[in-house]
Structure 1
Amino acid sequence: MQASVHTYDLDERTGEVLLDSGRVLPFPASAMEANGLRHLRVGQRVSIEVADDADPEDVGAHVSRVWIVGIGEGERIR
């Protein structure tokens, strides 16, 4: 699924993404670290994975992984 970066805190490495539906979902630093990303910019298009394969529209849904298409191709860094 794709989304746009809505907010990003460089120090904490956390933020929020905006789905095409208008829903905002938070992401923790671990979602960035899963693919080795170091920085995002507001407005940037990213691919996301929602924790526990939950419906992203459900209350309490949050992002478990963030990646940029073409950078790591979404493969988890181990």
Structure 2
Amino acid sequence: MAKPNKKAPESSVDIYCNQCKTQLFKYRKGGKGSLLKCFKQRITKDFTVLPCTCPNCDAIFARDTLIRGTPAFKMIGGKVFSK
């Protein structure tokens, strides 16, 4: 399986909790598709205290996993949105 690109994308998005609208990450996302996973090496700023848990409402928004051998967060559908 192919690894994610070594060079991080130029564009950056903000990821928010869908329940309380708190900012969770600043992430360098590649492509135009929806946000399904966040590779940990591409997160530029992390606002969470506990991994995969919103600091404001304590909602679990992702699962900690390995994707193609790289540590990542697999997003749960409808728990987050990005701008």
Same fold (TM over 0.5): no
Greater fraction helix: 1
TM-score by length of structure 1 reads 0.30
